[in-house]
Chain A
Amino acid sequence: GAVVSQHPSWVICKSGTSVKIECRSLDFQATTMFWYRQFPKQSLMLMATSNEGSKATYEQGVEKDKFLINHASLTLSTLTVTSAHPEDSSFYICSARALLDMDNTEAFFGQGTRLTVV
Chain B
Amino acid sequence: AQSVTQPDIHITVSEGASLELRCNYSYGATPYLFWYVQSPGQGLQLLLKYFSGDTLVQGIKGFEAEFKRSQSSFNLRKPSVHWSDAAEYFCAVGTSYGKLTFGQGTILTVHP
Q: Is A44's beta carbon under 8 Å from chain B?
A: yes
Q: How many residues of A are counted as interface, with CB atoms below 8 angstroms from the partner's CB atoms?
A: 23
Q: How far apart are the CA atoms of A3 and B106 in the complex, in Å?
A: 26
Is A34's beta carbon under 8 Å from chain B? yes
Write the nearest CB–CB distance from B67 to chain A, whole angstroms.
16
Task: Decide if A78 is an interface residue (CB 8 Å cutoff).
Answer: no
Tell me how far the C-beta of A83 lies from the nearest C-beta in chain B, rounded to whole angstroms: 26
Check B84 for interface membership: any CB of A closer than 8 A: no
Is the C-beta of A19 less than 8 angstroms from some C-beta in chain B? no
**Is B71 in the interface zone, CB < 8 Å from A?**
no
B residues neighboring A (CB under 8 Å): 36, 41-46, 49, 51, 90, 94, 96-105
Q: Pull 30 A–B residue pairs with CB atoms less than 8 Å apart, ordered by A.
A: A32-B97, A32-B98, A34-B99, A34-B100, A42-B104, A43-B90, A43-B102, A43-B103, A43-B105, A44-B44, A44-B100, A45-B102, A46-B99, A46-B100, A46-B101, A49-B99, A93-B43, A95-B100, A104-B51, A105-B96, A105-B97, A105-B98, A106-B46, A106-B49, A107-B100, A108-B46, A109-B45, A110-B43, A111-B43, A112-B41
9 A-B pairs with least C-beta separation: A107-B98, A97-B98, A111-B43, A109-B44, A112-B43, A43-B102, A44-B102, A43-B104, A109-B43
